Structure 1
Amino acid sequence: MTEYRDPAYACAYLAMQDVIPQRDVGERLLLDVGCGDGRLLALAHTRFPGAEGVLLDHSAAMLDAARARTWPAPVDYVAHDLSQPLPPLGTFDAIISGFAIHYLSDLRKRELYTELRGLLNPGGLVLNLEHVASVDAHEHTRFLDLLGGKEDPSNQLAPAWDQVAWLRESGFARADVVWKWLELALIVGWTD
């Protein structure tokens, strides 16, 4: 699905993730569980140190990086490719994803949103800090220039507002883009 299965590629991303422009602004809005190397769960633990979590990623290198962290509460690790239906995971108050869903086809994004909705407790929410399609080619080029000009061939970007509609179609009572900067957006779906 992506180059992140290659340990060298995953490590290169982890080494540069702190310099993605405006990422920190979007992350300050996130409140609960994370994925990848555990970055988002670590942020959540600064506010909710007792929050238990499940870290799900298809990259062994990412999960190894997450295992290397010290966690203040129990954390489970699940190796899983999001292009496939989710395995049984339990239910959650919050599900957070950071820059992972944009590698999926639009059809799979829609299926995944329905699966995520089914995992949420009443009053739950999904927060997706995501790489989304730009409004035009000029803005896409501008965004790429800020990141060093490299296009990721695995990207399957969808407009943020399309994803809001897909969340609503998936059974979320409300959904919105609560923050956006160029091709980065925080998309939230609330169960009620």
Structure 2
Amino acid sequence: MEESKQKVRTKFDDNARRYDSQRKQLIPCFDDFYGIAVSLAASEKESPRILDIGAGTGLLSSFLMEKYPKASFTLIDLSEKMLELAKDRFDDNPNVTYLVADYAKYPFAEPFDLIVSSLSIHHLTDPEKAALYRTINNILNDKGIFINADQVLGSTPYLDKMYVTDWKAKVEASGLSAEAIAASYERLKLDIFAPLADQLNWLKQAGFVDVDCVYKYFNFVVLFGRKETA
């Protein structure tokens, strides 16, 4: 498993500089995918504590920062080079903390009001996904919200093949170079997608309430869960 994570780190280190510029071409539903994730990030606090899991270049956090400019952000990712780009993006913002670490193992000590993730948790094994959801529930404050914008496995082989075929057709018509497309297909080999139904069950088993798939576009989904008041 550690070897697999090292491959993920290497691939994203290598692609760090090109990552954001390719997002809209690699995510056909980009605007809805990120826009809905941000719209779900509700907090009663003007300056919530937000954790971005697998934050990469800080793309999702940048959208959340527009909504909560006074929030404090913690960005955690395996790839140091990706987080270096996040540091450039946020220009030494004192309200942003960066952690180069494996979030599946990191001993989080402080609670958060909002925990978000985009296109990262699918790199974990299924037991790791379920364990991470339990950890997230444990470190959320009461009424805290978890949002996972990610990709899932089709519930049948037919559906999964349809999802992949549709995505490849759109990527190949997007204007990306042949080199960039080939690199994206290589990264796809590192993904460990899980069915949507399993993801929702793991969230419920972790203690979340109001669990839902709020948005779905083929295999792109935005999952929601809320921590009940103790």
Q: TM-score under structure 1 normalisation?
A: 0.91
Shift of 1:13: 2.6
- Contact 1:160/1:187 (<8 A) preserved: no
- Contact 1:56/1:78 (<8 A) preserved: yes
2: distance between equivalents of 1:160 and 1:167?
Answer: 11
Shift of 1:89: 4.2
Give the letter aligned to residue 180 of structure 1. K
SS at match of 1:121: strand
Q: Deviations over 1:95-133 (max 9, x none)?
A: 000000001111100000001111100000110000111
Unpaired runs of at least 5, structure 2: 42-49, 173-180
- Contact 2:152/2:193 (<8 A) preserved: yes
- 1:76 aligned to which of 81, 87, 97: 97
Q: Deviations over 1:149-186 (max 9, x none)?
A: 62511110011221011000011122110001011000
Which region of structure 1 is more displaced relative to structure 2, 156-165 or 177-186? Answer: 156-165
2:10 corresponds to: 5
1: distance between equivalents of 2:109 and 2:20?
Answer: 26
The aligned length equals 191
Shift of 1:41: 1.2
SS at match of 1:113: helix
Which region of structure 1 is more displaced relative to structure 2, 57-66 or 134-143? Answer: 134-143
- 1:167 aligned to which of 174, 181, 203: 203
Q: Does 1:136 align with 2:160?
A: yes
Shift of 1:73: 5.9
1:40 corresponds to: 60
2: distance between equivalents of 1:79 and 1:110?
Answer: 22
2: distance between equivalents of 1:167 and 1:138?
Answer: 26
Q: Does 1:24 align with 2:31?
A: yes
2:224 corresponds to: 188
User: Residues 98 and 89 of structure 1: is their aligned pair in 2 closer, same or farther, counting only changes over 3 Å?
Assistant: farther
2: distance between equivalents of 1:50 and 1:89?
Answer: 22
Q: Does 1:179 align with 2:215?
A: yes
Unpaired runs of at least 5, structure 1: none
Which region of structure 1 is more displaced relative to structure 2, 120-129 or 43-52? Answer: 43-52
Pick the structure with more helix per residue.
Answer: 2
- 2:20 aligned to which of 2, 10, 14: 14
2: distance between equivalents of 1:180 and 1:54?
Answer: 27
How well do the aligned residues superpose, as a CA RMSD in angstroms? 1.9
- Counting aligned pairs with the same residue, the percent is 27
SS at match of 1:173: strand
Q: TM-score under structure 2 normalisation?
A: 0.77
Which region of structure 1 is more displaced relative to structure 2, 114-123 or 33-42? Answer: 33-42
Give the letter aligned to residue 23 of structure 1. F
- Contact 2:110/2:139 (<8 A) preserved: yes
Structure 1 stretches of 4+ moved >4 Å: none
SS at match of 1:167: helix
Matches within 5 A, 1:118-157: 118-134=138-154, 135-148=159-172, 150=185, 152-157=188-193
Highest relative contact order (Cα 8 Å, sep 6+), 1 or 2? 2
- Contact 1:3/1:9 (<8 A) preserved: no
1: distance between equivalents of 2:209 and 2:10?
Answer: 35
